[in-house]
């Protein structure tokens, strides 16, 4: 077994979605004065690798702490690109966690990462709903642009969305399980450590 980290690093240089607060890290204790280290960290919950809960876009949707923990892990299926033909060839089954490799992670930290990312089509979103997947993830900032119709289709069906993944290319041709564990917040999203266990 091998584990692959699919999460980006969060520090004060981590890029954020336009309009979101930047990451701020403040030392509140150090070894010289207190004999230990402690820090205060401030950032928006949609920073870095994170999971969107239904309440993000659905008024009556579940918040992150209301999601059954069983939904945060499952068999992974990798789709290279966003075409419906590629999605249908991935062998997706109910309960899977579907990861999309678009190559956008190579632009993480550059302006175009948040401006020029491709979108998942309504056809693909509806197919994923039909297949009853648990969650989807992608190596880009979002599955769509405003007015976020794809978000609403997926989250409205209870399908969670992982954004800002990295290292997805290491899963090509592999059989793997995804573990995407968010902080337990009574909110619309949460930062997450996402890993893949390759068989």
Q: How far apart are CA 84 and CA 123, in angstroms?
A: 7
Q: The whole model's pTM is what?
A: 0.97
* CA distances, 175 to each of 3, 83, 102 (Å): 12, 21, 19
- pLDDT (tens digit per residue) in 69-107: 999 999 999 999 999 999 999 999 999 999 999 999 999
What is the distance, to the nearest Å, from the Cα of residue 191 to the centroid of all Cα atoms in its chain?
9
- pLDDT (tens digit per residue) in 134-162: 999 999 999 999 999 999 999 999 999 99
Bridge partners for 5 per DSSP: 195
Among the listed residues 187, 196, 151, the one whose alpha carbon sits nearest the alpha carbon of residue 62: 187
Question: What percent of the chain has pLDDT above 90?
Answer: 99
Given a cut of 90, whether residue 191 has pLDDT beyond it is yes
Question: So what's the architecture of 2-8+45-198 in CATH?
Answer: 3-Layer(bba) Sandwich (3.50)
Given a cut of 90, whether residue 176 has pLDDT beyond it is yes
User: What mean pLDDT is reported for the chain?
Assistant: 98
- CB distance 191 to 35 below 8 Å: no
Given a cut of 90, whether residue 1 has pLDDT beyond it is no
């Amino acid at each position: 077994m091998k584990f692959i980290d699919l999460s980006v690093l969060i520090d004060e240089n981590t890029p954020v979605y336009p309009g979101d607060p930047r990451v701020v890290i403040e030392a509140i204790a150090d070894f010289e004065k207190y004999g230990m280290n402690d820090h205060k960290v401030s950032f928006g919950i949609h920073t870095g690798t994170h999971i969107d809960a239904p309440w993000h876009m659905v008024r009556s949707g579940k918040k992150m702490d209301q999601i059954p923990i069983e939904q945060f892990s499952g068999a992974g299926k990798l789709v290279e690109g966003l075409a419906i033909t590629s999605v249908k060839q991935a062998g997706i089954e109910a309960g899977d966690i579907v990861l999309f490799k678009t190559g956008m992670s190579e632009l993480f930290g550059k302006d175009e990462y948040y401006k020029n990312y491709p979108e998942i089509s309504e056809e693909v979103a509806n197919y994923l709903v039909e297949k009853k997947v648990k969650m989807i993830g992608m190596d880009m900032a979002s599955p769509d642009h405003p007015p976020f119709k794809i978000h609403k289709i997926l989250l409205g069906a209870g399908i969670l969305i992982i954004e800002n993944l990295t290292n997805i290319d290491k899963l090509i041709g592999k059989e793997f399980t995804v573990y995407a564990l968010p902080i337990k917040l009574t909110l619309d999203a949460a930062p997450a450590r996402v890993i893949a266990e390759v068989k």
